Amino acid sequence: MSHADRVGQVYGGTADGNNGYGFGWWVANDGSNRVFDPGAYGAVPWLDLDGGFGAYLVLEADAELGLQLAAELYEPVEAGITAAR
């Protein structure tokens, strides 16, 4: 399963100090059940596994800015999708 934290399961740690990693997806270790895979130029796709939706943030910048913006958008995007259902 590519959405499971393989690093945590095998090594008991994290991949980058905060998050796990599982075959192509970074796995949030914040209890959100979210997986994401930022790109070098700022694009950040994510899947909210509990919410049953995915989103794709596209910008021309860098991975750090993309991750910062995505973190600010997780909750508003989830709220908008939940309200639209």
Q: pLDDT tens digits, residue range 51-72?
A: 999 999 999 999 999 999 999 9
Question: Would you say residue 2 has pLDDT above 80?
Answer: no
Q: How confident is the model at residue 1 (pLDDT cuts 50, 70, 90)?
A: low
The domain tally of the chain equals: 1
**pTM of the full predicted structure?**
0.85
Domain range for 75 is 6-84
Amino acid found at 33 = N
User: Looking at the domain assignment, is residue 50 inside a domain?
Assistant: yes
Q: How confident is the model at residue 79 (pLDDT cuts 50, 70, 90)?
A: very high
Decide: helix, strand or coil at residue 33.
Answer: coil
Instruction: Count Cα neighbours of 22 within 13 Å in the Cβ-side half-sphere.
Output: 17
Encoded tokens for 63: 């991975």
Question: Would you say residue 3 has pLDDT above 90?
Answer: no
User: Looking at the domain assignment, is residue 1 inside a domain?
Assistant: no
Mean pLDDT, the chain, whole residue set: 91
Distance CA(53)–CA(49), nearest Å, equals: 7
Encoded tokens for 32: 């959100």
In the block, tokens 């914040």 appear at 30
